[in-house]
Amino acid sequence: MTQIINSLSEISDRYEALFVDLWGCVHNGVAAIPSAVEALQSYRQRGGAVILVTNAPRSRHEVAKQLDRFGVPQDAWDDIATSGDSARAAMFRGAVGSKVWFMGQDYDLTFFDPLKLIENPVAIQRVPLEEAEGIVCCGPFDPHADPSVNRPQFLLAKTKGLKLLCANPDIVVDRGERREWCAGALAQLYTEMGGESLYFGKPHPPIYDLARARLSKLRKGVPDAGILAIGDGAHTDIDGAMGEDIDSLFISGGLARAETKTTHQPEPAALEAYIQREMINPSFTIGTLR
């Protein structure tokens, strides 16, 4: 059974580095969570390294700008690994062809900015679905509409044999007090309809490879036993940590706050029922990162 802790400092000395989720842990989609910022600042002051590992479908540079707007100071983290960067690399290597149908918001269009690290990148064109060789999905056109509204387009895409590149495997996020659908929900629907979806964020290996690469630039030779993954997503953050065989700290007051009856801390029986139902095994649990 998971161990409920009262603060990160209770266990942080066991780890050289943290892989920390953002939405629901460090910010709520609107503003920074002060206790989380303080916990990460304190950890770094004691010599630990903090890699923010996010399923945001954007580059780390765009995520850094967003953190500034939300009030997350730069001394709370060392580097950022994003699902967007992993997925962009795959796109520019031709994973879904050169002519793509784009799903997402206008602010997601930075996904198509040139990626200098790729040699001989594929020239990507955004085209209508009827002309597309593949789909690039950064999110729904309307984050509050049920994903099923995309069935007609997905039926055509499946018939054409198009692959869907999912830039954000999250199913939902909470923006303040309102829940929104993410690209992962669309990819899940497309797969259920018989299409092929390609994933690059948590819980899938590419983003952890990127996070380790970012960490290795800060300090060499950190073993997996020296890394703690922190997040509120049962099937992104915790499943991902389990798949990578690294310890995890589950933030029960994020996406699962109702199911775990979390106010300051989760209700133990509710937490255990949730863990059993979702078939996850976090090493530790806390209500909010602090």
The average pLDDT across 52-69 equals 95
Examine the pLDDT at 6 and tell me if it is beyond 90. Answer: yes
Angle between helices 183-192 and 151-160 (to 10 degrees): 60
3-state SS, residue 50:
strand
> What pLDDT was estimated at residue 66?
96
> What pLDDT was estimated at residue 282?
98
pLDDT tens per residue, range 264-280: 999 999 999 999 999 99
Burial of 245 (0-12, 13-18, 19+ CB in 10 A): exposed
Domains and CATH numbers, the chain: 3-84+204-286 (3.40.50.1000), 87-199 (3.40.50.1000)
- Structure tokens belonging to residue 47: 């010599």
Q: Where are the beta strands (DSSP E) in 9-162?
A: 17-20, 49-54, 79-82, 99-103, 125-126, 134-137
The average pLDDT across 51-74 equals 95
**Angstrom distance (rounded) from CA 203 to CA 246:** 12
Examine the pLDDT at 181 and tell me if it is beyond 90. Answer: yes
- Considering only CA atoms, which of 46, 48, 52 is closest in space to residue 73? 52
- Considering only CA atoms, which of 27, 40, 36, 20 is closest in space to residue 81? 20
**Other CB atoms closer than 10 Å to residue 178's CB: what's the count?**
11
The average pLDDT across 116-120 equals 82
The average pLDDT across 46-71 equals 96
pTM equals 0.87
**Angstrom distance (rounded) from CA 108 to CA 197:** 19
- Can you say how many angstroms the Cα of residue 139 is from the centroid of all Cα atoms in its chain? 13
Place 123 in a pLDDT band, splitting at 50, 70 and 90. very high
> What pLDDT was estimated at residue 77?
98
What stretch of H or E contains 221? Answer: none
Examine the pLDDT at 50 and tell me if it is beyond 90. Answer: yes
The average pLDDT across 112-127 equals 90
pLDDT tens per residue, range 22-40: 999 999 999 999 999 999 9
> What pLDDT was estimated at residue 91?
96
- Considering only CA atoms, which of 22, 86, 91 is closest in space to residue 58? 86
Place 176 in a pLDDT band, splitting at 50, 70 and 90. confident
**Angstrom distance (rounded) from CA 153 to CA 130:** 9
- Structure tokens belonging to residue 35: 């206790």
Examine the pLDDT at 156 and tell me if it is beyond 90. Answer: yes
Q: What sign has the CA pseudo-torsion 65, 67, 70, 74?
A: negative
- Considering only CA atoms, which of 152, 196, 199, 151 is closest in space to residue 171? 199
The average pLDDT across 117-132 equals 93
- Comparing 3-17, 166-180, 239-253, the range with the smallest average pLDDT is 166-180
Examine the pLDDT at 253 and tell me if it is beyond 90. Answer: yes
> What pLDDT was estimated at residue 117?
75
Place 119 in a pLDDT band, splitting at 50, 70 and 90. confident
Q: What is the mean pLDDT of the chain?
A: 96
The average pLDDT across 195-216 equals 95
Examine the pLDDT at 250 and tell me if it is beyond 80. Answer: yes
Instruction: Give the percent of the chain with pLDDT over 90.
Output: 93
**Other CB atoms closer than 10 Å to residue 220's CB: what's the count?**
7
> What pLDDT was estimated at residue 137?
98
Phi, psi of 114 (to 5 degrees): -55, 145
